[in-house]
């Protein structure tokens, strides 16, 4: 699994957009990028997954530049309930079922 680096914490206010950047300089050709969200006392919740360019769903957008050495998770108009830990994972399609969760980014949304 490619190593990832993301900020330890981020603060924001309700209604703002939150962008979390993850660095993965050693990403391999077959690797894709996955983001999870975890609330206290709950399991990680899948948010979004992508390989290149931009992916958008009802929860978030994922921006991946052409060199794929980083990716940015964008959470539009956050609310207090978006306060959670966000994890960036990188792995290939067939072998990396052993998901490796690091410290993640703790996002705190304030009123």
Partner 1 sequence: NAGVMQNPRHLVRRRGQEARLRCSPMKGHSHVYWYRQLPEEGLKFMVYLQKENIIDESGMPKERFSAEFPKEGPSILRIQQVVRGDSAAYFCASSTGTGEGQPQHFGDGTRLSIL
Nearer to partner 1, 80 or 103 (CB): 103
Give the C-alpha distances (Å, rounded to integers) separating 107 from 40, 54, 70, 83, 90: 12, 22, 19, 5, 20
Tokens 């983001």 correspond to what residue?
A: 35
Nearer to partner 1, 41 or 81 (CB): 41
Q: Which residue from 81, 89, 75 is spatially nearest to 22, judged by alpha carbons? A: 89
The binding track of 85-104 with respect to partner 1, each residue x by CB under 8 A or -, is: --x-----xxx-xxxxxxxx
Residue list 31-60, contact with partner 1 (CB under 8 A): 32, 34, 36, 41-46, 49, 51
By CB under 8 A, is residue 81 in contact with partner 1? no
């Amino acid at each position: 699994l490619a190593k990832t680096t993301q900020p330890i914490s981020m603060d924001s206010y309700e209604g703002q957009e939150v962008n979390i950047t993850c660095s993965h300089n050693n990403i391999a050709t077959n690797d894709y990028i996955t983001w999870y969200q975890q609330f206290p006392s709950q399991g990680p919740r899948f948010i979004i997954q992508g390989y290149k360019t931009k992916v958008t769903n009802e929860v978030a957008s994922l921006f991946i530049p052409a060199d794929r050495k980083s990716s940015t998770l964008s959470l539009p108009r956050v609310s207090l309930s978006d306060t959670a830990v966000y994890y960036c994972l990188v792995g290939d399609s067939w072998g990396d079922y052993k998901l490796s969760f690091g410290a993640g980014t703790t996002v705190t949304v304030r009123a």
